[in-house]
Structure 1
């Protein structure tokens, strides 16, 4: 038996650790925790959690791994026994288990950590602090990946990791949950694999507006949004990160699921993706330089078709 409790962090490889840590902190309002630099890492937090984003010095920037904490009712021994039963190949290192999903992405499984003190069990706004800064997101909420094999991903995340299916988008997408949040993980089938985005929850759309104004001053642009998703219901805006090729989603107002939630199948149409308006530009699903240039200059919405992958602009 295996059961996950929550998402813990995302690990990204970066070329220049000093530059990347400073950039993520000043642009997204994150705070660097002490330690890690001697091992070529930087640990960044949203609020008073140990960290939500792990930056790792590497030659090829991009996703290194994402990590989930086990549920309090599932020990590391329970998870190990589940994997040893043939669920998937795995390895163990420094008190954590590691598996790879069908697209080759590394998933870290961390043991459950009880709060250090009774005060730490309170809601975030009611925990006294002398170190938490004003300005950042509330927490890391979920990840989303592109895939070329949706059903293999379905089997892995439900059978190997014990996630539960929240909803389907026709034959194009799957959303998974581990607690009451509508999803902690999603897969979208575009015919190839890529880490698409990590998502930070903000308190409301007013906070989202403030963060987007701030990001725009730092040269960032919105790749899609603001939207109101039909699936999951969250208000979301996606910002392009060119250095570590992915997007950051800022979101609020996500649907909360009941314990007896029954998965739904939504039609693959505009309303399921965005009840407020348009689908994303096709550049939103790509990470090549041509797509990035088209998105930066809004060429698609100005009537210039995005060339197929591999073709010049």
Structure 2
């Protein structure tokens, strides 16, 4: 394997996200009943039957063969000084993919050259598909890198669209993380995993891409944890349909409908049953050549970057630092 191959390798897509949940059953039912997720399992039985299993992780998919979410029972024990409650991140892990076994080996070599500790362990939710590469980012978030060829992803995407139920997201689009070490995290994901920077906002928020999508990862200053998870939907008309549907489901809208300046997509956000913010996104900007690196676009005002239609929620303004 040449040094050039090692330096050129990069992750190609965000495959799934693992979440800690205070109530696995409640979370799984929310994603199934409200968002239309299906149970992903090799075993027989319905979602309700699997929810009866205490402490079992639940893997959920959007009609395709690979899961987009895995939900784990939060049994973590955190020390406390008795004065302030410890804020727990609900992020269990992130999962990215490369195309081939050779690329996975090159990625391992690249990470080892950077002095990053890693291990090969079974894939989350799919141990029969071979081992994955596991490591930690600078914030200690667990990161999985596995093999998922373009052909498999394309077949899954096509199959997903033909089987799609009414008002079900097309797929996982991005994850937004908060971090107290923004520059270090941006450097890790660009230099170690091969992401490119699409946009910067005031050096307090960065949008990173690893394929044609404008972003698969957002990093922003704040207390370490997950800010929101984004899913793709069809268009603006469907977004309004979601707003009506969520109101009938008694799920409050936290932000939107709106129009991001960064990424140029229409969006809305709402909480899941554990309070994690979910974003639905329509019309995200695309790069025609995912392998071409271009200088990031710089934004100097939050209003135009975050919502061209004006409204920015108070919780987002308070978390930002100028």
Normalising by the residue count of structure 2, what TM-score does the alignment of the two structures yield? 0.79
Instruction: Give the paired residue count.
Output: 280
Q: Does 1:272 align with 2:305?
A: yes
Deviation at 1:90, TM superposition (A): 1.6
Kindly report which structure 2 residues correspond to 1:223-242, keeping only aligned pairs within 5 A, or say none: 223-241=254-272
State the match for 1:26 in structure 2.
Answer: 33
The one of 187, 212, 227 equivalent to 1:196 is: 227
Deviation at 1:72, TM superposition (A): 4.5
Kindly report which structure 2 residues correspond to 1:92-103, keeping only aligned pairs within 5 A, or say none: 92-94=120-122, 95-103=131-139
Unaligned runs of at least 5 residues, structure 2: 1-5, 44-49, 77-87, 123-130
- Following the alignment from structure 1 to structure 2, what is the Cα–Cα distance between the partners of residues 154 and 239? 27
- Following the alignment from structure 1 to structure 2, what is the Cα–Cα distance between the partners of residues 282 and 251? 20
Deviation at 1:100, TM superposition (A): 1.4
**Distance change >3 Å, CA 285–CA 179, structure 1 → 2:** farther
**Distance change >3 Å, CA 112–CA 154, structure 1 → 2:** same
Q: Does 1:10 align with 2:17?
A: yes
**Distance change >3 Å, CA 18–CA 134, structure 1 → 2:** same
Kindly report which structure 2 residues correspond to 1:68-83, keeping only aligned pairs within 5 A, or say none: 68-72=96-100, 75-83=103-111
State the match for 1:293 in structure 2.
Answer: none
Unaligned runs of at least 5 residues, structure 1: 287-313
Kindly report which structure 2 residues correspond to 1:37-116, keeping only aligned pairs within 5 A, or say none: 37=50, 40-59=56-75, 62-72=90-100, 75-94=103-122, 95-113=131-149, 115=151
State the match for 1:295 in structure 2.
Answer: none
State the match for 1:177 in structure 2.
Answer: 209
**Distance change >3 Å, CA 285–CA 195, structure 1 → 2:** farther
- Following the alignment from structure 2 to structure 1, what is the Cα–Cα distance between the partners of residues 230 and 12? 17
- Following the alignment from structure 1 to structure 2, what is the Cα–Cα distance between the partners of residues 271 and 283? 14
The one of 155, 158, 170 equivalent to 1:120 is: 155
CA contact (8 A) 1:14 1:55 kept: yes
State the match for 2:125 in structure 1.
Answer: none
The one of 276, 281, 284 equivalent to 2:314 is: 281
Normalising by the residue count of structure 1, what TM-score does the alignment of the two structures yield? 0.81
**Distance change >3 Å, CA 76–CA 269, structure 1 → 2:** closer
CA contact (8 A) 1:142 1:199 kept: yes
Deviation at 1:253, TM superposition (A): 0.7
CA contact (8 A) 2:254 2:269 kept: yes
Deviation at 1:124, TM superposition (A): 4.9
The one of 196, 212, 223 equivalent to 1:164 is: 196
CA contact (8 A) 1:147 1:194 kept: yes
**Distance change >3 Å, CA 177–CA 240, structure 1 → 2:** same
